[in-house]
Amino acid sequence: MTFISWGYYALLLAALVCYYLLPHRLRWSALLAFSLLFSALLGVDTLLWMGAASIVSYTAALLIDRARGTKSARIWLWTSLALCFALLIAFKYLSFGLRIATRFFALVGIDYAAPVFSLAMPVGISFYVFQITGYLADVYRGSCAPVRHLGKYALTVSFFPKMMQGPIEPAAAFAAQLDEKKPFSEPQFRLGLITILLGIAQKTLVADRLASVVDRVYALAGQGATPSVWASLIAIVFYAFQLYADFAGYTCIALGSAQLFGLKLSPNFRQPYLAHSIADFWRRWHLTLSAWLRQNIYFPLGGSRVKTARWCVNVIIVFFVSGLWHGAGLNFIVWGLLHGIYQVVGKLTAPVRQKLKSGLPSQLSHMISIACTFVLVCFAWVFFRALNVAEASAILRGLFTGGTAFSLTELGVAAPEFIMCMLTIPAMIMLDLVNERSSATQWIADRPLVVRWLICLALLVLVILFGCYGSLAASSFIYVGF
Structural domain spans, the chain: 6-181, 188-481
The per-residue DSSP string of 234-288 comes to HHHHHHHHHHHHHHHHHHHHHHHHHHHTT-------S-GGG-SSHHHHTTTSSHH
In angstroms, the CA 167 to CA 131 distance is 9
Would you give per-residue pLDDT tens digits along the chain (482 residues)? Answer: 788 888 899 999 999 999 999 998 899 999 999 999 998 888 887 888 888 888 989 999 999 999 988 889 999 999 998 888 888 787 776 766 666 666 666 666 676 565 555 566 677 788 888 889 999 999 999 888 899 999 999 999 889 998 888 898 888 888 889 888 878 888 899 999 999 999 999 999 999 999 999 999 999 998 888 899 999 999 999 999 999 999 999 999 999 999 999 999 999 999 999 999 999 999 999 999 999 999 999 999 988 888 989 999 999 999 999 998 888 788 999 999 999 999 999 999 888 888 887 778 888 888 999 999 999 999 999 999 998 999 999 999 999 988 888 888 888 889 999 999 999 999 999 999 999 888 889 889 888 999 999 999 999 999 998 888 764 444 578 877 66
Nearest to residue 262, comparing CAs of 342, 177, 351?
177
Nearest to residue 285, comparing CAs of 274, 266, 269, 273?
269
Integer CA distances (angstroms), 292 to 171, 277, 438, in order:
12, 21, 26
For 421-460, letters b (16+ CB in 10 Å) and e give: beebbebbeebbeebeeeebbeebbeeeeeebeebbeebe
Q: Is the dihedral of CA 46, 51, 53, 58 positive or negative?
A: positive
Angle, helices 27-42 vs 150-158, to 10°: value is 50
Phi-psi sector, 118: left (phi>0), alpha (psi -120 to 50), beta = beta
CB atoms under 10 Å from CB of 419, counted, come to 10
Nearest to residue 274, comparing CAs of 288, 265, 284, 264?
284
Q: Output the pLDDT for position 473.
A: 46
In angstroms, the CA 22 to CA 29 distance is 9
Q: Output the pLDDT for position 101.
A: 63
Contact status, residue 60 vs residue 76, Cβ threshold 8 Å: yes
Q: Output the pLDDT for position 119.
A: 62
In angstroms, the CA 366 to CA 280 distance is 12
- Residue 23 CB-density burial (10 A; 0-12 exposed, 13-18 middle, 19+ buried): exposed
Q: Output the pLDDT for position 471.
A: 47
In angstroms, the CA 425 to CA 179 distance is 42
In angstroms, the CA 346 to CA 191 distance is 39
In angstroms, the CA 297 to CA 171 distance is 19
In angstroms, the CA 378 to CA 233 distance is 10
Q: Which amino acid is present at 434?
A: V
What residues have CB less than 8 Å from 81, skipping those under 6 apart?
A: 133, 136, 137
Contact status, residue 222 vs residue 394, Cβ threshold 8 Å: yes
CB atoms under 10 Å from CB of 334, counted, come to 17
Q: Please, how many CA atoms are within 13 Å of residue 412, restricted to the half-sphere of its CB?
A: 16
In angstroms, the CA 134 to CA 291 distance is 10
pTM over 0.85: yes
Q: Which amino acid is present at 185?
A: S
Q: Output the pLDDT for position 86.
A: 84
In angstroms, the CA 282 to CA 315 distance is 12
In angstroms, the CA 12 to CA 224 distance is 44
Angle, helices 362-385 vs 229-260, to 10°: value is 90
Cα torsion 170, 176, 178, 184 to 10°: value is -100
In angstroms, the CA 317 to CA 447 distance is 47
Q: Output the pLDDT for position 44.
A: 82
Q: Output the pLDDT for position 45.
A: 78
